A and B are shown apart, each in its own frame.
Chain A
Amino acid sequence: MLDKLDVSNEEPSFQPVKIRNSMREDVAGKCLSREEALSNTSHKKNGYFKGPSVMQ
């Protein structure tokens, strides 16, 4: 259906509104504690997430 339209001169709109580069200063801010990050999983071990096996 879209093939009927000529878009050869159009730029893609990856966002509907023009957005300027919005980089912030490269300074670490407040982030989640380890306890908070792990509070929603039942798969954890020694303070890390525990995932399924990678190698048999």
Chain B
Amino acid sequence: MIYSARDFVERVSCGEISVLEHAEKICSEIEAKNNEYFHFNCFQKDYVISQAELLEKEIKKGRSGKLLGVPVSVKDCLCVKGLESRAGSRILSGYKPVFDATAVARAKSEGAIILGKTSQDEFGFGTFSIHHTAGNVPLNPLDKTRSCGGSSGGAAGFAALTENTHVAIAESTGGSIACPASFCGVSSITPTYGVVSRYGLMDYTCSLDKIGAIGKSIDDASLLLEVMSGKDERDSTSADFNYYPAKFSKMNLGVPTELIDSIENSRVKKVFWEKVLKAEELGCKISNVSLPLNAKYGVAVYYLIAMSEASTNLAKYCGMRYGFSKKLVGDFNEYFSSVRSDAFGEEAKRRIIIGTFARMSGFRDAYYLKAMKVRTKLINEFKRVFSQVDLVVSPSMPMVAPKFSEIEKLSPLENYAADLCTVPPNLGGFPHATTNAGKCNGLPVGLMAIANHFEDAKAVSFVSALEGLM
């Protein structure tokens, strides 16, 4: 039996479960399976056991905590003190942070045991966890020939695979939490932008990045978000808002017509609709809503903003202060170009080049600034819909987990189009909770509930109630 995180903490607190024995069990599982599924980029048994031994002693002295003894995996792009943290990139080879990201520090302060760093696309550049230059491609536990989704592929993959209590710290820019959760059949929360501090996150796009949670159930993910949320003076964009779960009450749900019409896979839509209609059993009313601008322009605006900001964020990686380096040969330009040419992957280079072009003098207003103005339109469109309904519900992804052989045939543009459902809420910074809606030919289909800013608890309470119907 796998205990929920809350049950687990209760049992640890009353002495029924030994955190050391549980840590040893989950370490054995990772040792046995990671060479087969590659969900962890960095895992050291000694590191995990030493935390558990210390915690076991502290518990005997009366220590408590919301995550007491719960094993927590951390996406590779968040700094964990002393653990190699590479964000899936060779350019950060050997980098061992001297501090913890705030989200990690808060989890530790509530008694979490950090398991290691989960695999991902390089800096989050991908939908299928295949673009990396450090670590391995994580494999879907339901079918190893298929993708876990991206970019938090290792996080979702392990959440689905493990036979032990565990929650995952993940991160989303344009869908990197909801997508892998959908493909692996687990639950997730991407909070309102700013609810979790980005301090210690290796940023992809500052105005889009959000740290969230993945778990076997939405309640597990909710508990982790509760611990991670809150104002942090080290991140000027963090919100003065603490997330707490709320009790479910009947809601009005809106299904976005244009977005659903854009999904070609009718079997995905069928599974989605079957699940949405079950919400009527909860007393929810379902209606159609219209988000035409988000459906039409969302992906284009997202990639303009994301690539523009990524091209500046990645400028700091130059082989001097940390990570990958070479013998100091040539002048600044020659050395930095040599390091970046060797250590960045193809997708990272593509995004840096496109983003730099979009920000160039003469193009900035036409591309980057225009995209920012269109974003205002898209946010306002969502706000109008939220004056009519409590939540917008849609499939998390327009497809089930594809085979790696199918992904190889996609052009970059076809790759980006897969983000159709996840980009709109991410672009607007709207919170969204996801769960498994059912299966299509044995593969999970995700359902996503999107709420207005800072109504994260409303989306979670709905998904939790929906999971309770299973």
Binding site for B on A (CB under 8 A): 1-2, 5, 7, 10-17, 19, 22, 24, 32, 36-37, 39-43, 49-54, 56
Contacts and interface: CB of A to CB of B under 8 A. Distances in A.
B377 A2 contact: no
Interface stretch (B181-189, B273-281, B323-331): B323-331
A42 B320 CA distance: 8
Nearest to B309: A14
A47 to B, nearest CB: 14
Contacts of A52: 328-332, 334-336
Contacts of B193: 15-17
10 contacts: A1-B297, A2-B304, A12-B372, A13-B376, A14-B372, A16-B375, A24-B233, A39-B98, A40-B321, A52-B330
Contacts of B331: 52-54, 56
Contacts of B334: 52
Contacts of B239: 17, 19
Nearest to A56: B331
B106 interface: no
A51 B257 CA distance: 56
Secondary structure at the A interface, as helix, strand, loop or mixed, is loop
B375 A12 contact: yes
Q: Which of A17, A32, A37, A54 has the most CB of B within 10 A?
A: A17
Contact of A16 (B96, B297, B429): B429
B212 to A, nearest CB: 15
B237 interface: yes
Contact of B194 (A2, A19, A41): A19
A7 B377 contact: yes
A22 B241 CA distance: 14
Given A2-B297, A32-B99, A15 B207 contact: yes
A3 to B, nearest CB: 8
A24 B232 CA distance: 11
Nearest to A52: B335
A49 B371 CA distance: 38
Interface in B427-442: 427-430
Given A12-B369, A13-B372, A40 B95 contact: yes
A5 B297 contact: yes
Interface in B162-183: none
